[in-house]
């Protein structure tokens, strides 16, 4: 996705070999035009999947998630990381470890929002090790739904998330795939390139 690649090149900041800061357009300040295009692209890629809901995780997944849900004409659900006084029972709970933040979170989704038979598209901002995507997929499956696919805005292809999710049988579509963040530079993968491992 050309517009997204340009944003990563122009505004992304490499913080070491494993961390890319994109807070000027994706996960602090958000570019609504870019998010609309992200939603359209996910809708195009997952056309024909009969998606009934989009599921993401707060907070960075909400912008691409809501734009995808808008384009698909379906509701967006976001898994909460923060404890809520109003969300205490009849919930799905999964533990998810964030390698960027070096912490585990319990994510929760109310059982009333995902029903058996739902076709759920998972959308998230980043893919590294796949922890968030796996946690969201387990919630969908606990509900008796099926994962129609996983849409990722930026994939760090040098980490194992892509391989692990595909080995588990999930359809994965990443809009931008990064091969390396070495030497303070973003190196993109070619469209059909597969990293060894």
**Is residue 184, in this structure, part of any structural domain at all?**
no
Mean pLDDT of 31-35: 96
Q: Which of 26-35, 126-135, 185-194 is the least confident region? A: 185-194
Q: What is the CATH number of the domain that holds 47?
A: 3.40.50.2020
**Is residue 149, in this structure, part of any structural domain at all?**
yes
**Band of the pLDDT at 13, cuts 50, 70, 90?**
very high
pTM of model > 0.85: yes
Q: Which residue segment(s) compose the domain that 69 sits in?
A: 35-179
- In this structure, what is the dihedral angle of CA atoms 143, 45, 188, 128, given to the nearest 10 degrees? 0
Mean pLDDT of 100-124: 92
Q: Tell me if 156 is assigned to a ligand binding site.
A: yes
Mean pLDDT of 153-168: 97
**Is residue 29, in this structure, part of any structural domain at all?**
no
Q: Tell me if 128 is assigned to a ligand binding site.
A: yes
Is the bond preceding 59 in cis, omega lying within 30 degrees of 0? yes
If one counts the domains in the chain, the total is 1
Q: Tell me if 131 is assigned to a ligand binding site.
A: yes
Supply the DSSP symbol for 190.
P
Specify whether the CB–CB gap between 76 and 54 falls below 8 A: yes
Q: Tell me if 105 is assigned to a ligand binding site.
A: no
**Band of the pLDDT at 103, cuts 50, 70, 90?**
confident
């Amino acid at each position: 996705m050309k517009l997204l690649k340009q944003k990563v090149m122009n505004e992304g900041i490499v913080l070491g070999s494993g961390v890319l800061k994109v807070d000027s357009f994706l996960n602090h300040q958000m570019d609504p035009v870019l998010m609309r295009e992200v939603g359209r692209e996910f809708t195009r890629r997952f056309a024909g999947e009969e998606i009934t809901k989009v599921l993401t995780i707060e907070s960075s997944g909400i912008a691409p998630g809501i734009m995808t849900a808008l384009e698909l004409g379906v509701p967006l659900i976001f898994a909460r990381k923060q404890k809520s006084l109003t969300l205490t029972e009849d919930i799905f709970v999964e533990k998810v470890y964030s390698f960027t933040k070096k912490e585990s979170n319990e994510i929760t989704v109310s059982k009333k929002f995902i029903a058996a038979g739902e076709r759920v598209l998972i959308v998230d901002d980043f893919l590294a090790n796949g922890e968030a995507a796996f946690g969201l997929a387990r919630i969908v499956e606990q509900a008796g739904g099926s994962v129609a696919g996983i849409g990722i805005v930026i994939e760090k292809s040098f980490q194992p998330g892509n391989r692990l999710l595909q080995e588990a049988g999930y359809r994965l579509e990443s809009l931008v795939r990064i091969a390396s963040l070495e030497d303070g530079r973003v190196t993109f993968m070619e469209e059909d390139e597969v990293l060894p491992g």
